Amino acid sequence: MPTRPLPDEDATLALGAALAPHLAPGLVVALRGELGAGKTTLVRGLLRALGHAGRVKSPTYTLVEVYEVSRLSLYHFDFYRFHDPSEWIDAGFRDIFNGRNVCLIEWPERARGQLPPADLEIALEIVEPGRTATLTASSPAGEKLLAALPPG
Ligand SMILES: Nc1ncnc2c1ncn2[C@@H]1O[C@H](COP(=O)(O)OP(=O)(O)OP(=O)(O)O)[C@@H](O)[C@H]1O
Ligand SMILES: [Mg+2]
């Protein structure tokens, strides 16, 4: 998959916005990249494009933030602070991956073995002063979304 340059924050927001109209119920998107790579920024751009007017909080402390927007139930996870798989069971998170909710997951590697496979992976890299994004599809739904994206 080609790597897209994201020279500034607006470019990250625009990539999120470009994904928004092509999200289908049940889609699982893994957002990879180190601290500050722009994962939450991308989700913010996506949610704004769907019509969400409020804040987009990083779910660093809450593990998940939920949005009902544009006929989608969207779950934004951040597993940075997730260590114990029993936490996952206790919180009932598995039920969220039910083929209907859209799930966007920061730090998916911290919940390895607990998560269903992602349809699409977006790997963000810090290339100062900007970022790059590499998008990889792993399912027909992911392929469809990639094909719908404008070239970047
Ligand atoms: N393409 C870009 N170029 C330069 N700065 C960017 C770009 N995209 C986002 N940023 C900036 O990077 C900073 C960190 O972004 P963000 O919080 O989205 O990172 P994150 O990957 O979610 O980090 P964390 O792992 O801590 O949750 C923000 O100040 C944001 O404005
Ligand atoms: Mg974040």
Is there an atom of ligand 1 within 6 Å of 10 CB?
no
In the prediction, which pLDDT does 13 show? 98
CA–centroid distance, 74 to ligand 2, in Å, is 16
- pLDDT tens column, 80-108: 998 877 777 777 888 999 999 999 999 99
The domain spans of the chain are 3-138
Q: Which of 4, 40, 110 to mutate to test the pocket of ligand 1 (most atoms within 8 A of CB)?
A: 40
Domain boundaries 3-138, corresponding CATH code: 3.40.50.300
Is residue 39 in contact with ligand 1, taking CB distance under 6 Å? yes
CA angle 84, 56, 99 (to 5 degrees): 60
11 within ligand 1 shell (Cβ under 6 A): yes
- How far, in whole angstroms, is CA 67 from its chain's centroid? 13
Give the residue ranges of DSSP H helices in the chain: 9-19, 39-50, 85-91, 140-148
- Indicate whether this model's pTM tops 0.95: yes
Q: Please state which of the ranges 58-62, 125-129, 136-140 shows the lowest mean pLDDT.
A: 58-62
CB 99 within 8 A of CB 26: yes
Q: Is the CB of 106 under 6 A from ligand 1?
A: yes
Ligand 1 pocket, 8 CB below 6 A? yes
CA of 90 to the centre of ligand 1 (A): 30
pLDDT tens-digit series, residues 32-54:
999 999 999 999 999 999 999 99
